Amino acid sequence: MELDGDHMHFTRRSEVTTISLLSLARAPTFREGVLGAVLTISSDEHGDVTLKGAANLDARQFSKEVKEAWVRSSLAALERETVWLDSILAGVQALAAPSSYPAACQVAPLLEKARALDVKLLSKLRAEAVGPDAMARVAPAREFVSDPRTARAAGISAFVTAELERRKHFFDTVESRELTPEQRLSVVVDEDATLVLAGAGSGKTSVIAAKAIYLVRAGIRQPEEILLLAFGKKAARQMSERVEARSGEPIVARTFHAIANDIIGIVEGTKPPLAAHADDELAYFNVIRQILNDLVHRLPNVSTAAIQWFAHFMVEPKTEWNFKTKHDFYTHMEAQDLRTLQGGKVKSYEELQIANWLYENGIEYEYEPPYEHKVPETGRRDYQPDFRLRESGIYIEHFGVRREKTADGGEQLVTAPFVDRDEYLASMEWKRRVHAEHGTILIETYSGERQDGRLLTGLAEKLAPHVTLKPRPADTIYDRIVEMKQVDDFSTLLGIFLRKFKEGGYSLQDCRDTSKKKGLGNRASAFLDVFAAVFEEYQRQLDDRIDFEDMVLRAARYVETGRYTSPFRHILVDEFQDISPGRARLLKALKNQHPDVRIFAVGDDWQAIYRFAGSDLHLMRHFGREFGGRFDGEADIHRTVDLGRTFRSVDQIAFAARTFVLRNPAQIRKQVVPAGTATEPAIKIVTVPKHDSEAKLSEVLNGLSATVAPGAEAATALLLGRYSFIKPDMSALKARFPRLEISFDTIHASKGSEADHVIVLNANSGRFGFPSEIVDDSLLSMVSPEEEAFPNAEERRVMYVAMTRARHTLTILASNARPSSFVTELREDPAYGIVSEPGGKQEDCVCGECGGRLLGVAGRNGHIRYRCEHDQHCGNSLPACPACQTALPHRTDGTSEVRCECGACFPACPECKDGWLVERNGSHGNFLSCARFPACFGKPKAPRGTQFSTPRTRRRNRF
């Protein structure tokens, strides 16, 4: 062992090890022995090093000198780091009672500094070397290093408590109404990334304005260091005016596009010209439509690709085989526009392919025409083959069967999961016999052929001996597509896809790879063939101009590469739920330029309804991951504040809307404190008979008008529609109800509005109902990083927006025959506490043919008949009970009878699930047959003596 200044050297078998005296764990230990001393040096790096056999006197002296050197070295090291230690201790002390919010970005440098000193010195100090006073001095720094998260949390709590009290007058007066406790907290919290969840009517504008003013008044930032962002020019202007009016501070709110354009101007010295359609949605989609039209007429390859799309890939290519029940299949088919190039509608995707191939090749046809020969009564409906070719008289039947290997190596025909195989195969044989008996030519196609990719080629081969193909010119077909207005929806899809494609920085190969991964198949390939040409031409036409996507991304690149130096230290963002990937990229770039930049975002994921315009709700749901800071090895550091309280809706509306939107578990849970308590039912569902919507709306408005006292200020009534085309005659309504200030808006356009009374129109099922069945196309998943799995997720948020526009009452008008799934949910779930008009709710009856709903519909003669909701596909229809004329009789389990709630009882039809036997008059006297006749030819199998009763006082024979 050798002592050398502040180090010791150990030599063992010529191998030398050197340690610092600071690494000693304790003073050397010395023990005398008969054969010499035992001297042990303990260090943190090498453990115990022991020397045996030294002279006792020498070992004692050496041990003393090592201890003295250890003490000197430790005290000297502590003295050298006094300035460093004092600054850390001052920081730790300040954290106990901070003068500003201890955000992660502020405390992280202190922690880094403390840990570095701890590793270098503090962790090596021992009380035996430096004394208890020195150890007490360094203790706060060591405690902070060992548990920095608790220290920061305590500092945050201390600051928030003190600041809320210190700034009480500010919070009481900064807005016309005193800020709520939740609003005050959101202003004071100043984490690296702060997300304020601002529900409908919770005062988000007050919060973001107060935050901007607070930052300046508290001396945290200068006005020029604050970037206040809004999504639209109107919102930005209103925000600027509000801040200036409340504070006089020159804090100007800007749109994302405005700040992006300013960045480009600073870097490039001039701002590039903006495309004429950049800030005009209608003009933008018109540009896409015109590009598509020009390319189709100019380039044969684009013409071919476009026609292939419209003829065979426009709708989702799903068949019966993709569904487990008829109800699911029919529901999907009704959400698709299965309209052929000839103009009619068909019932399946495969029939659509056949019909459009016939049209493309100039073959005139009829769809589901009556068979030309009278078929004797067989218990079936009148025979209607799928197609009849007009010129040749040939019939085409498309059969939903596929070939499947059997266990013995053979093959058999199989049907879709919900189809009775034996019954279906029997119907195929019956159709073949009918054609054979009457000498008509039948061409057969099969689902299995489409599965094998040869449905249309096979059809061409089968028809070749009988017809001559006369392919229509591409221009003629496309003009027909334009005439049918199918180009508009496709142009919109192309336009939405193009925006997402540019904003996300995708390539065509990226899209093809995603398509393959997600199994989007030939439909995606057909779409990309058209899109590639449209995108290339769109970019060419831009020339030296830019659109908003270019603007935001170019600005983001300038910030990321340091060509633009940001002056902003606080970035405040309004309506954050509408953030898009491009805007998020610009925000991140601005935040990452300086270590102390804060993001303060105000939004409501419950009101995220602009996915079609490029917004990506996942950016808000993963706010910490996207924008959070880092501290103590933990990423995603952020703070969320829930405003909770609403200043708009009464309790019944506020709570029902919250319950409704939270049925989607992906929505962020928030508390809701309503604006007041309703003393009468605040939400009503009013059913509307067919052709009676105007009368029902007038009836509702008349009731609202009656609540306004004469001479009192007019109450506001907002009519909301999912689509603009359902707007009623507003001039007439305003003239008839002068006590009401009536307005109409689409639900999307109404965001931010409010009224005393809200009336939601046309909450019906169907393609253009609410929820809309024109869902986001699955092709958009090629340019969308994440998808929402919950059914009607965005439409549910649209309904939430509609509900929360109302202060006092909400009325929902829905078809009595086809109410939407939203109306059914609201009406039937007691959690919503919603009132239906007397007699408005009809009992749900399940269709025995397909599993859908049987809906009661009053005819013009007032008689009620129950029809399946899938009337185009299923067609099941039943009369109301002959006794009460209102309800629908139900089959009683375990018996052969059908009973009505009025007490009437009938024999159950032995052939079908829904029908019952009724007495009819025939040429041979009275007989019993199914109430569904002629759809069902069921007749009694029980002995004639079996008796069933109907209340005689109300019994009528209506058949």
Q: Which residue ranges make up the annotated binding site for ATP?
A: 198-205
As a whole number of Å, the end-to-end CA separation of the chain is 118
Written as six digits, the tokens of 883 are 């006794």
- Which residues are part of a known binding site? 198-205
Q: How far apart are CA 52 and CA 40, in angstroms?
A: 9
CB crowding 573-608: b at 16 or more within 10 Å, else e: bbbbbbbbbbbbbbbbbbbebeeebbbbbbbbbbbb
Hey, is 672 helix, strand or coil?
A: coil
Backbone φ and ψ for 748, nearest 5 degrees, come out as -60, -45
Q: How far apart are CA 317 and CA 302, in angstroms?
A: 21
DSSP 601: E
DSSP 908: B
- Dihedral sign, Cα of residue 565, residue 567, residue 569, residue 570: negative
Q: At CB < 8 A and 24+ separation, what contacts does 884-890 make? A: 884/954, 885/954, 885/956, 886/856, 887/843, 888/843, 888/845, 888/854, 888/856, 889/916, 890/845
Strands 365-367 and 387-389: antiparallel
Q: How far apart are CA 302 and CA 536, in angstroms?
A: 12
Q: How far apart are CA 493 and CA 510, in angstroms?
A: 18
Q: How far apart are CA 696 and CA 588, in angstroms?
A: 51
Q: How far apart are CA 464 and CA 178, in angstroms?
A: 82
Hey, is 230 helix, strand or coil?
A: strand
Could you tell me the maximum CA-CA distance found in the chain, to the nearest angstrom?
A: 138
Written as six digits, the tokens of 879 are 């009369």
List CB contacts of 534: < 8 A, sequence separation 6 or more.
Answer: 288, 291, 292, 295, 494, 498
703 in Cβ contact with 832 (< 8 Å):
no
CA 809 vs CA 657, 711, 758: distances in Å: 13, 21, 6
